[in-house]
Amino acid sequence: MSVHTDGAVTLYGLMAEFETPGELVAAARRTREAGFKKYDAYTPYPIHELDAAMDLHDNRISLFTLIGGLLGCAGGFGLASWVSAVAWPLNVGGRPLISVPMFIPVTFECTILLGGLTAAIGMLLLNGLPTPYHPVFNVERFVNASRSKFFICIESDDPKFDREMTASFLESLGAEEVAEVAA
């Protein structure tokens, strides 16, 4: 195990590679316990155990989706009512202009539409996607993050970051390889 220096001027962070998901989860937990804040794990598929290990609990998407759904619900019902009672009122034998049961299907579909769109767009925005450039891709072996390997990257703007200390910390976690990430 050795630290590769590729002569980068600025450093985004240090990246450690792991072979199995079990090693990664253990390493991620120890990274958090060591007090690091600015770090991330990269895995080829979602690993639910990481949420506990890294203490991830971002629930904002659920809230956004609820708000989007409620807006769609109100919007759908409001649209149907406004069109039927204000913009184009049709008096059919004195029946109510706002015929609630008949407006339910449109209200329901609008709820789903806005809720679903908010969930998808909210996910992209909170994840900061699209990201045209990201330093992690500067590590050659990182292409395997979308194939078969597991990575942890501790970022250089973490207050506890120190090039040598952090590198040896990552090696002590059992990393196969530790690489510097050019910014």
Partner 1 sequence: MQPVELPDKIHVGPVIDPGHSLASVSDKVAGIVLKRKITLGWVFGLLISFAVLQNLMAGATWLLIKGVGVWGINIPIGWGFAIINFVWWIGIGHAGTLISAILLLLNQSWRNAINRFAEAMTLFAVMCAGMFPVLHTGRPWLAYWLLPIPNTMAMWPQFRSPLLWDVFAVSTYLTISAVFWFVGLIPDLATLRDSAKSPVSRKIYGMLAMGWRNSARHWQRYEKASLLLAGLATPLVVSVHTVVSFDFAVSIIPGWHTTIFPPYFVAGAIYSGFAMVLTLMIPVRRFYGLDDIITLRHLNNMAKVTLATALIVAYGYTMEAFFGYFSADTYERFMIWNRMTGPYAIFYWCLILCNIITPQFLWSKKIRTSPGILWIISIIVNIGMWLERFVIVVTSLHRDFLPSSWGYYAPTIWDWAVYTGTLGLFMTLIFLFVRVLPMITIFELRMLLPSASVKEPVAQ
Q: Which of 71, 106, 160, 176 binds partner 1 (CB under 8 A)?
A: 106
Closest CA to 27 of 166, 155, 174: 174
Residues between 58 and 77 with contacts to partner 1, criterion CB under 8 A: 58-59, 61-62, 65, 69, 76
Position among 14, 16, 80, 181 found at the interface with partner 1 (CB under 8 A): 80
Q: How many CA atoms lie within 13 A of 182 on its CB side?
A: 10
Judge contact between 142 and 160, C-beta under 8 A: no
Q: Are 21 and 150 in contact (CB under 8 A)?
A: yes
Q: Is 46 in the site for partner 1 (CB under 8 A)?
A: yes
Contact call for residue 117 and partner 1 (CB under 8 A): yes
- Residue 147 lies near partner 1 (rule: CB under 8 A): yes
CB of residue 128 to partner 1, shortest distance in Å: 8
Does residue 175 contact residue 2 with C-beta atoms inside 8 Å?
no
DSSP strand pairing (150-155 vs 3-4): unpaired
Q: How far is the CB of 133 from partner 1 (least distance, A)?
A: 8
Residue 176: CB minimum distance to partner 1, A:
13
Helix ranges (DSSP H) in 83-143 = 100-126
- With contacts defined by CB under 8 A, name the span among 5-13, 136-144, 163-171, 175-183 that binds partner 1: 136-144
Number of residues that bind partner 1 (CB under 8 A): 71
